[in-house]
């Protein structure tokens, strides 16, 4: 058995924010029309949710992918879990944004940037879709839209980093979808580090608490 940990810091424990409905998970905070969350200074394109994937296995885990699904906890949102998932899916499909900080007010849905070393000025830029670093759940890339296990997004090779006990460093020979185990000394990397944001377009009308599952799939050899 291999246990995957999703944390907000490189050495942190499993995310455990208190959520509406009573369960624990990740709370992105509040987002307003024409912006994104978490946001620091929108004009400077700063503010993002850093997430780190690690595991307790000796061997690497492989085929690491991610997708969104209907919220599986005790729902505490403003509508229904099924409707929230349908809305999240449609937001990605209809994203017409062109500005990384939503300056044009057209970006929407859950975006990820899978280069842990990307600068604040460049993170989430739409030009990064071509390299595979940026993905929007619900938007199709080569047949993959991140809306199910069969169309999940691969964890990009640029997300792989290594924690040596003192600092975060780039993996020396990273592989897309693979995170090294306890014996790894920086070859594959023992962390998968990506950034995420939730965007809301200027024309959004539905408010209140919004909930969904962000699912990480992987394969392992014990």
SS3 (DSSP) at 2:
coil
> How does residue 170 score in pLDDT terms, banded at 50, 70 and 90?
very high
CA distance 203 to 110: 16
Residue 207: what pLDDT? 87
Residue 203: what pLDDT? 94
In our burial notation (b when 16+ CB lie closer than 10 A, e otherwise), range 17-45 reads eebbeebebbbeeebeebbbbbbeeeeeb
Flag whether pLDDT at 87 surpasses 90. Answer: yes
CA distance 13 to 111: 23
> How does residue 206 score in pLDDT terms, banded at 50, 70 and 90?
confident
Percent of the chain scored above 90 by pLDDT? 96
Q: What is the mean pLDDT of residues 143-169?
A: 97
Assessment of whether the complete model's pTM goes beyond 0.85: yes
Residue 98: what pLDDT? 98
Residue 119 burial class via C-beta count within 10 angstroms: exposed 0-12, middle 13-18, buried 19 and up: exposed
Strands (E), 70-176: 109-113, 134-136, 153-154, 160-163, 168-170
């Amino acid at each position: 058995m291999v246990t995957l940990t999703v944390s907000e810091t490189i050495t942190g424990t499993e995310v455990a924010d208190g959520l509406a409905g009573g369960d624990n998970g990740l709370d992105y905070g509040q987002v307003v029309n024409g912006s994104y969350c978490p946001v620091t200074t929108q004009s400077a394109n700063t503010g993002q949710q850093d997430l780190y994937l690690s595991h307790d296995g000796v061997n690497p885990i492989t085929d690491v992918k991610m997708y969104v699904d209907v919220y599986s906890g005790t729902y505490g949102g403003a509508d229904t879990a099924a409707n929230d998932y349908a809305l999240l899916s449609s937001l990605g499909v209809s994203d017409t944004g062109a500005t990384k900080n939503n300056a044009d007010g057209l970006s929407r849905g859950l975006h990820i940037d899978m280069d842990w070393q990307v600068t604040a000025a460049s993170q989430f830029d739409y030009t990064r879709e071509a390299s595979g670093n940026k993905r929007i759940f619900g938007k199709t890339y080569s047949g993959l839209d991140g809306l199910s296990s069969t169309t999940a997004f691969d964890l990009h090779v640029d997300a792989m980093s290594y924690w040596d006990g003192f600092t975060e460093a780039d993996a020396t020979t990273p592989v897309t979808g693979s995170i090294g185990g306890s014996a790894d000394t920086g070859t594959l990397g023992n962390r998968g580090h990506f950034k995420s944001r939730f965007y809301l377009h200027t024309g959004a009308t539905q408010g209140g608490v919004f909930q969904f599952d962000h699912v990480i799939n992987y394969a392992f050899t014990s």
